[in-house]
Amino acid sequence: MIRECCVCHRVEQKGKWHADLIFGRHERLSHGYCPDCYDDLMVNIEEFSAIFTRKVLSTASRTNAEG
């Protein structure tokens, strides 16, 4: 089983991620995230959830004031 990063399409081999690794068509591919893209993803999720939480909280407080 070969792991390919679904963001940058690098392929993992023996714990290292290669941009230009050739692999056979018969190999089974498993899609995931390489450590670099995983970190980027986590940062984005944190930023997104921070924005989302602020939005929900401000909407909730406005609703309470009107109600």
Residues that bind Zn ion (CB under 5 A): 5, 7-8, 34, 37
Q: How far is the CB of 56 from Zn ion (least distance, A)?
A: 31
Residue placing its CB nearer to Zn ion in the complex, 36 or 54: 36
The count of other CB atoms within 10 Å of the CB of residue 11 is 19
Instruction: State the Cα–Cα distance between residues 12 and 21, nearest whole angstrom.
Output: 9
Identify the three-state secondary structure at position 6.
coil
Residue placing its CB nearer to Zn ion in the complex, 9 or 62: 9
Q: How far is the CB of 8 from Zn ion (least distance, A)?
A: 3
Residue placing its CB nearer to Zn ion in the complex, 3 or 37: 37
